[in-house]
Each structure stands twice: as C-alpha cells, then as structure tokens.
C-alpha cells in the first residue's frame, strides 16, 4: 500500500503545498489503490484515468508557475454518482440512465474542480438514492471495507466505502434522510449534512427536492470541514440556495481540536432518538462517548421531542411523493433507456416498457407509494398530514435548541449488517434511518463521526451531532473536540484502526 493513500487530506495537502509530492503522484497512488481493491469493495461505478491524471498535471503546472492555490488543490476526490459530471457517466445507480453523459458539471463538482480537487471516479449508490445499504444499486452492491460480508450503509455507501478503503481521501455525497451520515457510521468515516441550502443542489439528480442536500465525506472531521468549505456557498442556479456569508468550517474544526471547546457546551440527548432496537454495543459506545464529553466539562441534558416518533412515517410519505414527481421525467422520450415492445411502438407502450425495465424494485415501490399519496382524495390525508408532522418536528427542534447547543444521538441504531440479511424487507432499511431523518425534515445540519467499535462484532459505531440551521461550524468545532477525545482514549486516530491497513490490505475484520 502506498504511503500516500494513508495520509489524510490535510496531511496530503501540506505535502503538495511543500512540493514533497505531486498531485499526479497522489492521483496515481489512489487510482492504483482502486485497481488493487475495488473488485472486492465495489465502491466505484466509473473512473477515467486519463482525465484524472490530466487534471492532476494541470494542478501541478499551476503550482509550479507560482499560482496561489486553494488548500485542497491536487487532492483526489470521489464523487457520488448522484452528481452529474462531464468526464464520466452519471447514472444515479439506475439502468434507466446507463451511460448517460451530462453536458455540464453539478455545482458542487464545479466548485471542487475550481478549488483544484482532482476527481478520480463516480461512486456506487442505491438507485436514485433509495436505500440504506447500497444493495439497491442496479450495478451490484458495495461492500464494507471493515468486513466484506457486510453492507456499507446507504444510499451513499460507495463514497463512504471508497474513503474507508483508502481509495480516496475525500468524497462527495448526498443526504436525503441520512445517506451521508449513516454510511459514515457503518464504515468508520466522517460525514456531514449541511444546513439545507448551504450547498447547491444544482446538478444533483433529484430524489426529494425539499430534503436532498449535498455534503462531504472523509476520514477526519478536519478533512470533512475542508471539503465543506470548498463546495459551500450561494448558487443562482438553485432557488433553494442560501445567500448568506458562511463562517469557515475549517477554522471551526481546527479550533475544536486545539482548544477547550467542550467546556460549558450543552449537549442534548433526545429520549425519542434512543429508539427500541438500538444494538447493545451501539448504546454502550454512545454512553461511553457521552461520559467522555461530560468529563471535559460539557453538560448532558435530556430532551423530550414528542413528535420525533412520527418522523419515519412522515418521511416515507414526503419522500415518495416528491420522488414520484421527480422521476416522471424518465419517460424514454428525451433521454435514458428506451425499450420498444414487440408489436407496439406507441409512446405509452414504450414509456411503460422502459420504466419497467429501467427502474428497480425499490424505486417502483416508492413511485407507487408517492403517486398514491398525491392522488385525488388522499393528498390531504397523507402528504398534507405528513407536512404538518414535519412542522411539529421543526418546532420540537426549536424548543430543544432553546435548552442545548447541540443534540447528540447514535447515528444508526445498529452496526453494519450482513449483505442480504434483511431479506428484501424494506421496513428494516427504513427504520435504520430513524435517528437521521429528523434533521432532514427540519433542514438542520448533522455530522457523524466514529466513536469506537461495538463489543459484539468489532464494527464501527457513529455519533451524530445536530445543531440549529446555519450553525454548521458549531458541529465541526464540537466534532473535532470529540474526535480528539476518542483519539486520546484509543492512542491513535480511529481511521488507523481500519482493517484496510492490514497486510492483506482489505476486509480483515472479525466476521
């Protein structure tokens, strides 16, 4: 294993700036790592070696000319396939978009390129971001680098696994109900969902437009903050983009790691997020982390949020309703898969045959649910009622943040489960998002970071932090301080414990 891929993005950035290593060398090292292990991990759907190396050489040339570059210039980046790109296909994990080449880059990708980041591939995902395991991809599952028999979470399991398997130091993801945070928890990585509107959604293949948010994935809180700063900001292409001045997430993370950031911090624990079915090892790891935080002078406050128990039900009415509308555009007429049934070439028959062949089972299930919830006579009873519950959840958060600075919970109720063990039962996947969904319904920021491994299986456990809207920097400050506590307790950074560092290189966790 090349030493370059073991570096954090911040460490690699420092070496690039000092010209101890070139971007071309760093990019080549990560492309070699993909070639070495991705047949087992399945994190990537597409790479373009020629384009990636050309971009790296361009960064090296700019640096050699004396141009002042951004902190992440030359650092490799993986991109979730929900974001459209001009240099590689954009499929959103679906057959209906197989081979689709976008004429433009998503804004988050364009901003990353402008900051000098080098895209090295598109990562696997649950089809149209519908899933919690990356088993719903039309192109096969992604495997967890801690244990190749287990899922990496979803829908952005490809991005999290790529980072966890040292195939990329940074990745972009999307989070509609936990699709950045939950895979981060299951793979021992860090992931953030920014405040809704904090990062442009332009060029993100839409699932549920009032819930979707683009965000960063990495192995450390600082690296996540660095990428967040690179992609954040107003975009006139996105009508929901917030035109505000954001503080530096990087400065907040560095402050948290070096200062006494936890003293006096009021940390809320919502009773309704300690849901029935939380795995014993997840609960004990969470409680140990709270004890560490309290020992540093933080105040732990129990919070009651009575409407959180309805969050999953409301979410699975709002999301399918918006998805059924967003996915109506895949009609075989303008772009995407086209299947012409024998003996019938009408628009209706082609559209029906194409959608039948192009969409997977979970996508069809949610389109049907959403169409029903929006149908005449049921709109108010289902979609309308779910939106009222959403308002009540937002009010619960507002009341909670009058008492506390941040809210903490387990990111996911369990560690990574075995591939196929849910047996096609969608309810098991839906309930795995129970702790992450409320933040999406309220539009507030959330951050997941690893806090240890569960005693039962030795697999990663994630801690979720949530803050009021616009207070993303507060999460990075607290998250970096907690990360430092975990590192001090364990005697090494959490990511160094990953089995991907074992001599055989990948997947050597206990099974």
Q: In the numeric block, which tokens belong to residue 460?
A: 């990663």
Per-residue DSSP letters for 368-385? HHHHHHTSTTTTIIIIIH
Instruction: Assess contact for 362 and 327: CB atoms under 8 A.
Output: no
Q: Apex CA 453: angle with CA 449 and CA 456, to 5°? A: 145
Beta-ladder partners of 266: 299
- Cα separation, 218 vs 222, in Å, equals 9
Strand segments, DSSP code E, in 65-139 are: 76-80, 118-123
Of 155, 261, 324, 448, the catalytic one is 155
209 is catalytic: no
Catalytic residue among 52, 174, 179, 261: 179
Instruction: Note if the bond before 204 is cis, omega within 30 degrees.
Output: no
**Rounded CA gap, 77 and 170, in Å?**
5
Structural contact between residues 141 and 135, judged by C-beta atoms closer than 8 angstroms:
yes
Examine the residue annotation and report whether 92 is marked as an active-site residue of this protein: no
332 carries an active-site annotation: no
Question: Are the C-beta atoms of residues 314 and 390 closer than 8 Å to each other?
Answer: yes
Place of tokens 């433009």: 104
- At 52, list the tokens: 């990636």
Tokens 């002078």 locate to 297
b/e burial code for range 154-182 (CB count within 10 A of at least 16 → b): bbbbbbbbbbbbbbbbbbbbbbbbbbbbb
Q: Looking at the annotation, which residues are catalytic?
A: 80, 155, 179
């Amino acid at each position: 294993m090349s030493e370059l891929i073991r570096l954090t993005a911040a460490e690699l950035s420092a070496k690039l700036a000092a010209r101890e290593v070139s971007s071309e060398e760093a990019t080549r090292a990560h492309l070699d790592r993909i070639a070495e292990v991705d047949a087992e991990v399945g994190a990537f759907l597409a790479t373009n070696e020629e384009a990636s190396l050309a971009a790296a050489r361009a960064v090296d040339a700019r640096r050699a000319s004396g141009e002042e570059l951004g902190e992440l210039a030359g650092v490799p980046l993986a991109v979730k396939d929900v974001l459209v790109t001009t240099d590689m296909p954009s499929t959103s994990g679906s057959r209906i978009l197989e081979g689709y080449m976008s004429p433009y880059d998503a804004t988050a990708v364009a901003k990353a390129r402008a900051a000098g980041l080098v895209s090295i591939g598109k990562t696997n995902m649950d089809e149209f971001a519908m899933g919690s395991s990356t088993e719903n991809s039309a192109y096969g599952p992604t495997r967890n680098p801690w244990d190749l028999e287990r899922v990496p979470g979803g829908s952005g399991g490809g991005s999290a696994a790529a980072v966890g398997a040292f195939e990329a130091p940074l990745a972009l993801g999307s989070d509609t109900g936990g699709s950045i945070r939950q895979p981060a928890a299951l793979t021992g990585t860090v992931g953030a969902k920014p405040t809704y509107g904090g990062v442009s959604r332009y060029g993100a293949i839409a699932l549920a437009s009032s819930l979707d948010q683009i965000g960063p994935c990495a192995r450390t809180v600082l690296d996540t903050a660095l990428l967040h700063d690179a992609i954040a900001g107003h975009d006139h292409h996105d009508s929901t983009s917030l035109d505000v001045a954001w503080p530096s997430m990087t400065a907040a993370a560095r402050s948290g790691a070096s200062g006494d950031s936890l003293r006096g911090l009021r940390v809320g624990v919502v009773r309704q997020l300690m849901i029935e079915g939380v795995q014993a090892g997840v609960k004990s790891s969470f409680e140990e982390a709270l004890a560490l935080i309290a020992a540093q002078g933080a105040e732990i406050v129990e919070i009651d949020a009575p409407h959180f128990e309805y969050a999953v039900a409301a979410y699975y009415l709002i999301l399918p309703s918006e998805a059924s509308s967003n996915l109506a555009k895949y009609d075989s007429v303008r772009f995407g898969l086209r299947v012409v049934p024998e003996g019938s070439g009408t628009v209706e028959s082609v559209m029906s045959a194409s959608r039948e062949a192009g969409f997977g089972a979970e996508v069809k299930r949610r389109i049907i649910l959403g169409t029903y919830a929006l149908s005449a006579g049921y709109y108010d009873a289902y979609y309308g009622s779910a939106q009222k519950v959403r308002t009540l959840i937002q009010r619960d958060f507002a009341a909670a943040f009058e008492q506390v600075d941040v809210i903490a919970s387990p990111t996911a109720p369990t560690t990574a489960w075995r591939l196929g063990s849910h047996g096609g039962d969608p309810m098991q996947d839906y309930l795995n998002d129970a702790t992450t969904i409320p933040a999406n319904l309220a539009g507030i920021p959330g951050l997941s970071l690893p806090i240890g491994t569960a005693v039962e299986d030795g697999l990663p456990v994630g801690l979720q932090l949530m803050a009021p809207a616009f207070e993303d920097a507060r999460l990075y400050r607290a998250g970096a301080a907690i990360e430092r506590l975990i590192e001090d307790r364990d005697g090494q950074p959490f990511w160094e414990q990953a089995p991907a560092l074992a001599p055989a290189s990948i997947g050597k966790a206990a099974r």
